[in-house]
Amino acid sequence: MTTPPRGLRERKKQATREALREAALRLAVERGPDQVRVEDIAEAAGVSPRTYNNYFASREQAIVSAVTADREARIAAAVAARPGGVRLADAVTEAVVEQYTNTGEREHEVLLLITTQTALRDAFLDTTAGIETPLAAVIGERLDDAEAHTARVLAASVAAAVRIALEGWLRPTGNAEGAESLSAGGLVVPSGSLPDQLRAALAPLAPAFDAAEQHARP
C-alpha cells in the first residue's frame, strides 16, 4: 500500500480536524452542548469515534476549537509582522488584544454557549496554554535568544496573563455585579472591557520584556 505524501497527509488531517470542529459547533448550537455526544460529532463529520479521539479529548474541546483554532499561531504571526522598531511589549500586547477581540458573529454565538456551560468555560480557558510555544519561537527570534530560556519564560507569562484576564472577564467575582451574574442558573455575563482586562493583565510583564530587549542589543 502506497503511503500518501506528507503534505497530503497533513492536509487530510487538517480537513478532518476542521470537519470535527464545525460539526461540534453546529450540533451544540442546534441541540445545546449537553445534548451532543462524541458519537454524534463523529457521525456528522463522517469519521469514527476512535478517529475523533485522535483529535480532541472531549466534546467541549471540539466545540471551543471551532472559534479558537489557530489563534495562538495568529498571535505569534502578528508579533512577527510588527516592525523591528516597535517595542516588544507593545507588539505582544497589541497582537493578543487584536486576536482575542476581533470577533465575528460566529464567535459571539459560541461565547454565549461558553458563558452558560462551566465545562466549556474551562475548555476555553485551557486554550491559552497554546500561546506559549509559537510565541516563544517568535520572541526568541526577536531577542536572538539562542538558549530560548528567556523567550520561553516570557511566552509562558503571556499565556498565564491572558488566562487571568479571561477568567476575570468570564468569572467576575468580588463585587455585586459579579455575584448577581453568577447566580442566574450558572450564567456568567462577561464583565467590563476585554481589551482593557487583557492590557491590564499584560502590563506587569512590560519591564521584563524591556529588560530582555535591552540585554539583546549589541
Mind listing the pLDDT tens digit for each residue in 46-105? 999 999 999 999 999 999 988 888 899 999 999 999 998 899 999 999 999 999 887 666
Q: How many angstroms separate the CA atoms of 207 and 195, rounded?
A: 20
Q: Look over the chain and give the mean of its residue pLDDT values, rounded to a whole number.
A: 85
pLDDT band at 117 (very low <50, low <70, confident <90, very high): confident
DSSP code, position 187? -
Q: Where are the beta strands (DSSP E) in 43-120?
A: none
Per-residue pLDDT tens digits for 184-212: 445 566 777 889 999 999 999 999 999 99
Q: Which amino acid is at 41?
A: I
Cell of 155: 511566552
More confident residue, 36 or 182: 36
Beta carbons of 160 and 129 less than 8 angstroms apart? no
Q: With a cut of 70, say whether residue 2 has pLDDT above it.
A: no
